[in-house]
Amino acid sequence: MTAIDKLIQTADNEVGYLEKSSNSQLDDKTANAGMNNYTKYWRDIKNEYQGQPWCAVFVTWCFTKTFGVDKAHQILKHYPYVYCPTMSGLFKLYANPKRGDIVIFNHNGVFTHTGIVTGVDGDYFTTVEGNTSAGSAVVANGGGVCRKGYYISNLAGTKFCRPDYETAESEEEIMSKEYTELKAEIAKLQADVNKLNSKMIYNYVDDNMPEWARPTVQKMMDKGFLKGDENGCLGLTDELLRVFVINDRAGVYENRWDGKSE
């Protein structure tokens, strides 16, 4: 999920929230509904502004909820975003939107309302906005969080601010890369452990058995010191081969199995 996807998901989850008539039940979407601009968004971002129009602080809240205060501050180029005209002086303004843009609606030459662009289809774009109401018209001081849709050609003077999501995206990509590298390292370590745990078994005097051990093993078999199981398998490990060779070099196997010298 990209940074823009996460932001839009945060905003979309707030659809249906209604502003409150008083500073009570702020976290409930619909309880204590009224038209006095009391919201959890002001409480969480700048509580002393409680009771003021809240479309811009809703945008700030969504960025903060998604990325944290420091990242939101960086992406929005100031903090908190609470006044629509501020954005026009901080961002390059685009006439056509992209998903993830912040729209600033123009009314009589003044930017008076804002929201988050959630989709674009030609001349038509969709948003999630706070402090608005349903319908096709721009409502700059409504009662809740709504999904809206507009035709760009009908909104003279409306502009779109394009936040730089690269910071949030790059951090996510780094975390993903680190996770992939960590998984690869764990897999390598597991393979090494499996290699250490798996012992080579030598059942026959053949090319699979180390060349340095073959004469000793053959001698032990010839003298009757070493026999295989019912299938003729010797079941020898590297450790046993080393012990046998050391003993052979010490002359342990120069006698027959009955103790008589040859």
Among 50-64, 112-126, 226-240, the range scoring the smallest mean pLDDT is: 226-240
| 200/118 same-domain check | no
Per the domain annotation, does 257 fall within a domain? no
pLDDT at position 52: 96
Per the domain annotation, does 180 fall within a domain? no
Task: Centre a 10 Å sphere on the Cβ of residue 24 and count the other Cβ atoms it contains.
Answer: 11
pTM flag (> 0.75) = no
Mean pLDDT of the chain: 91
* Arithmetic mean of pLDDT, 165-189: 76
Among 32-41, 109-118, 242-251, the range scoring the smallest mean pLDDT is: 242-251
| 162/213 same-domain check | no
Per the domain annotation, does 25 fall within a domain? yes
pLDDT at position 197: 55
| 151/210 same-domain check | no
Q: What does the alpha-carbon distance between residue 261 and residue 138 come to, in Å, rounded to a whole number?
A: 110
pLDDT at position 231: 86
pLDDT at position 254: 81
Per the domain annotation, does 116 fall within a domain? yes
Q: What does the alpha-carbon distance between residue 149 and residue 200 come to, in Å, rounded to a whole number?
A: 70
- Sign, CA torsion 121/90/67/148: negative
Which of 168, 183, 202 is the endpoint of a domain?
Answer: 168
End-to-end C-alpha distance for the chain, whole angstroms: 80
Long-range contacts of 37-40 (CB under 8 A, 24+ apart): 37/131, 39/130
CATH number, domain of 98, equals: 3.90.1720.10
pLDDT tens-digit readout, 124-172: 999 999 999 998 899 999 999 999 999 999 999 999 999 999 877 666 6
Six-digit token string for 139: 């409502």
Angle at which helices 69-76 and 55-67 cross, to 10°: 130
Give the gyration radius of the chain's Cα atoms.
38
The percentage of the chain sitting over the pLDDT mark of 90, rounded to a whole number, equals: 71
pLDDT tens-digit readout, 250-262: 888 886 555 555 5
Per the domain annotation, does 182 fall within a domain? no
| 155/226 same-domain check | no
Pick the more confident residue, 26 or 173: 26
Per DSSP (E only), the strands in the chain are 93-94, 102-107, 110-121, 124-132, 144-151, 159-161
| 95/217 same-domain check | no
What is the full DSSP assignment across 173-240? HHHHHHHHHHHHHHHHHHHHHHHHH----B-SSSTTS-GGGHHHHHHHHHTTS----TT----B-HHH
Which of 134, 168, 202 is the endpoint of a domain?
Answer: 168
- Beta strands across the sheet bearing 110-121: 93-94, 159-161, 102-107, 110-121, 124-132, 144-151
| 55/139 same-domain check | yes
| 248/148 same-domain check | no
| 164/244 same-domain check | no
pLDDT at position 174: 64
Task: Centre a 10 Å sphere on the Cβ of residue 233 and count the other Cβ atoms it contains.
Answer: 12
Which of 168, 183, 203 is the endpoint of a domain?
Answer: 168
Q: What does the alpha-carbon distance between residue 157 and residue 151 come to, in Å, rounded to a whole number?
A: 13
Per the domain annotation, does 261 fall within a domain? no
Per the domain annotation, does 226 fall within a domain? yes
| 19/76 same-domain check | yes
Q: How many domains does the chain have?
A: 2
Per the domain annotation, does 185 fall within a domain? no
pLDDT tens-digit readout, 222-243: 888 888 888 889 989 888 999 9
- Which of these, 8, 230, 11, 19, lies nearest to 28 by C-alpha position? 19
Residue 134 domain boundaries: 3-168
